[in-house]
Amino acid sequence: MKSSIKKKSVIMLLIDSLMHEPLSQAVRSGQAPAMAFLMENGHYEPEVVSPFPTMSVTVDSTLLTGVYSDRHKVPGLVWFNKQENRIINYGSHIRELLKLGIKQSSRDIFYNLNQLHLNKQVKTLHEELADKGIKTCSINALMHRGSRDGYLHVPVLASWVTGLNHNVKINAPQLFSYGGFSKINPRNFSLLKKFGFNDCFSVKELNHLIHKNQVPPLALVYFPDLDQHVHKHGRNDVKGVAKADGHVQKILDSFPSWKDAIQQNIWIVLGDNGQAWISGNKKEALIDLRGLLDGYQIVKLKNGVTPKDQIVLAVNERMAFIYTLSKEKLPLKQVAEPLQKDGRIDIIAWKNEKDEIEVMPGGRNGRLTFKPGGRTTDEYGQSWSCEGDTDVLDITISETKIEYGKFPDAFARLYSSCVSHEGDYLIVSAKPGYEFIGEGSPTHIGGASHGALHKQDSLVSMIITGTDTRPKHNRTLDVKEWVLQLVESLGGEKERPQ
């Protein structure tokens, strides 16, 4: 028989672009009472390091798998698939999706991302807990692969536009919610904004489970709205944080009291990526890669790769992958030369013939190479060997210790990205104030943007309430293992064979 005693659940609220500065301002000014309450009754980490590139699909893939992109194989929001000889785009801007073909883009976003591109050789949080017979839930999360049969229910008009079947079978967690395509609460009609991919929808789904006392041992709930507020209003957008806090208040209000909420559950509130400020001067803010590389034939999105093309651009806001289609005819170093002249570019990096990562700064001369293994160790216990100008990555080496400056966990994050997928490519990362554009890229002039290696893009906030345990390190990379141990230690409700 099922026990009538409800054991604690781990409820993880993933709030896109939640950063320390605006959060602390909102708490101090009384505009974020819910998160202030969780902080006062728990533990606060203001600087958790996100994976690189700092784009949600890559960050959330690391959160679910506990590995960087060299192993989970989701390299960015936009990238070039060498095997299929095409650009993959999970939703940068409708302009780009239309040019690439809305049917292919829709399949990439709604099916391929989780079911094919996320490496099946690494297990997600949902899969590992399911293997132990422990239930989990995913609400509105971009990355959600699980072990159970699930379905995306595509409305007739959307099916006609996207080419997706009315019912798309996927591998999902036991409880799965994904906007208007799959919902737990049949009375959740919060579909007017982005067809349910909004904070209100997420709140109503979780509150439905709370009211029915059906929250499983792990519930991962994604809140997308703050990201758009910060893009528009800048990285210190306190009003956006206050709105996000309002949604957290509604969740806590669904318990008899806020104290009951934290006594009955463990709460983790976590940002995914940060955002860096973008200049209000359009000409200065936008780094047009087509202009910098105008001596080369660049793939046009609508045409796809043609025999005369030399370069592919995959722009991820404040970072970009730049591919050469023939390393013999067009070496990466040659492509890097015009880029290095632009002082708005922070770093240019690639894997060289010796399997080292080679890094150059924008706007000046300098060179640094590094690779895994060696006598120097960083704060995360990772060992490296490096040669050259350490200022390129703002690194300090004293005896055998590496200290990172404005690029947190720089070696591991940059290395993983440089070997994350097939192809010959450069990685470019912009300084704060600037973002890259290609053929149809979104822009955020006078607001904020992300994707880069810089700490403004990379550091997020985390609140932990209801446990004294912590991840091994303050990195998204270390959260999965910690949550696994946390859920198992609670002896959560297990499924019984049907």
Residue 474: CB partners within 8 Å, gap ≥ 6? 45, 47, 48, 49, 462
Angle at 61 between CA 432 and CA 108, to 5 degrees: 95
Task: Determine what percent of the chain is predicted with pLDDT higher than 90.
Answer: 89
Burial of 180 (0-12, 13-18, 19+ CB in 10 A): buried
* Backbone φ, ψ for residue 270 (5° rounding): -140, 135
Q: What is the pLDDT of residue 4?
A: 38
Q: What is the pLDDT of residues 217-236, one digit of tens each?
A: 999 999 999 999 999 999 99
Q: Are residues 42 and 177 in the same domain?
A: yes
| Helices within 44-171 (DSSP H only) | 56-65, 69-72, 94-100, 102-107, 125-131, 156-162
Q: Are residues 381 and 473 in the same domain?
A: no
DSSP state of 134: B
Q: What is the pLDDT of residue 490?
A: 87
Q: What is the pLDDT of residue 495?
A: 54
What's the whole-model pTM score? 0.95
DSSP state of 477: G
Q: Are residues 347 and 467 in the same domain?
A: no
Residue 494 domain-assigned (yes or no): no
C-alpha to C-alpha distance for 54 and 98, rounded to whole angstroms? 24
Q: What is the pLDDT of residues 412-470, one digit of tens each?
A: 999 999 999 999 999 999 999 999 999 989 999 999 999 999 999 999 999 999 999 99
Q: What is the pLDDT of residues 46-100, one digit of tens each?
A: 999 999 999 999 999 999 999 999 999 999 999 999 999 999 999 988 899 999 9
Average pLDDT over residues 178-185: 92
Structure tokens at 157: 């008009």
Q: What is the pLDDT of residue 191?
A: 79
Residue 38: CB partners within 8 Å, gap ≥ 6? 248, 262, 267, 269, 463, 465
Sheet holding 175-177, edge to edge: 43-49, 459-465, 265-271, 9-15, 218-223, 136-139, 175-177
C-alpha to C-alpha distance for 143 and 265, rounded to whole angstroms? 23
Q: What is the pLDDT of residues 102-157, one digit of tens each?
A: 999 999 999 999 999 999 999 999 999 999 999 999 999 999 999 999 999 988 88
C-alpha to C-alpha distance for 462 and 384, rounded to whole angstroms? 28
Q: Are residues 248 and 301 in the same domain?
A: no
Residue 105 domain-assigned (yes or no): no
C-alpha to C-alpha distance for 288 and 265, rounded to whole angstroms? 48
Query: What range defines the domain where residue 358 resides?
Result: 291-437
Q: Are residues 252 and 306 in the same domain?
A: no
Closest CA to 476 of 432, 413, 415: 413
Q: CATH number of the domain that 28 lies in?
A: 3.40.720.10
Q: Are residues 399 and 321 in the same domain?
A: yes
Q: What is the pLDDT of residues 305-363, one digit of tens each?
A: 999 999 999 999 999 999 999 888 899 999 999 999 999 999 999 999 999 999 999 99
Q: What is the pLDDT of residues 239-281, one digit of tens each?
A: 999 999 999 999 999 999 999 999 999 999 999 999 999 999 9
pLDDT > 60? residue 288: yes
Residue 79 domain-assigned (yes or no): no
Could you identify the residue written with the tokens 């097939």?
Answer: 422
Number of structural domains found in the chain: 2
Helix orientation angle between 238-253 and 199-211, rounded to the nearest 10 degrees: 20
Average pLDDT over residues 360-380: 96
Asked if residues 274 and 460 have their Cβ atoms less than 8 Å apart, the reply is yes
Q: Are residues 407 and 484 in the same domain?
A: no
Q: What is the pLDDT of residue 156?
A: 83
- Band (pLDDT 50/70/90 cuts) for residue 158 is confident
Q: What is the pLDDT of residue 494?
A: 56
Q: Are residues 270 and 350 in the same domain?
A: no
Q: Are residues 297 and 228 in the same domain?
A: no
Helix orientation angle between 238-253 and 33-40, rounded to the nearest 10 degrees: 70
Q: What is the pLDDT of residue 492?
A: 54
Q: Are residues 433 and 459 in the same domain?
A: no
Query: In DSSP terms, which residues pair with 149 in a beta bridge?
Result: 171
Q: What is the pLDDT of residue 164?
A: 86
Question: Residue 259 is inside which H or E element, if any?
Answer: helix 258-264
pLDDT > 50? residue 475: yes
Q: Are residues 361 and 395 in the same domain?
A: yes
Structure tokens at 395: 């690194």
Coil/strand/helix, residue 219 = strand
Share the mean pLDDT of the chain. 94
Full DSSP string of 53-89: S--HHHHHHHHHHSS-HHHH----SEEEETTTTEEEE
State the maximum Cα–Cα separation within the chain, in Å, rounded to a whole number.
Answer: 72
DSSP state of 196: G
Average pLDDT over residues 189-208: 90
Closest CA to 171 of 115, 224, 226: 115
Q: Are residues 45 and 146 in the same domain?
A: yes
Asked if residues 327 and 423 have their Cβ atoms less than 8 Å apart, the reply is no
Full DSSP string of 390-433: GGGGTEEEETTEEEE-SSTTHHHHHHHHHTSSSS-EEEEEEPTB
- CA quadruple 298, 292, 324, 349: dihedral sign: negative
DSSP state of 10: E
Question: What are the DSSP E strand ranges found in 261-382?
Answer: 265-271, 276-277, 286-288, 311-316, 319-324, 345-351, 357-361, 368-377
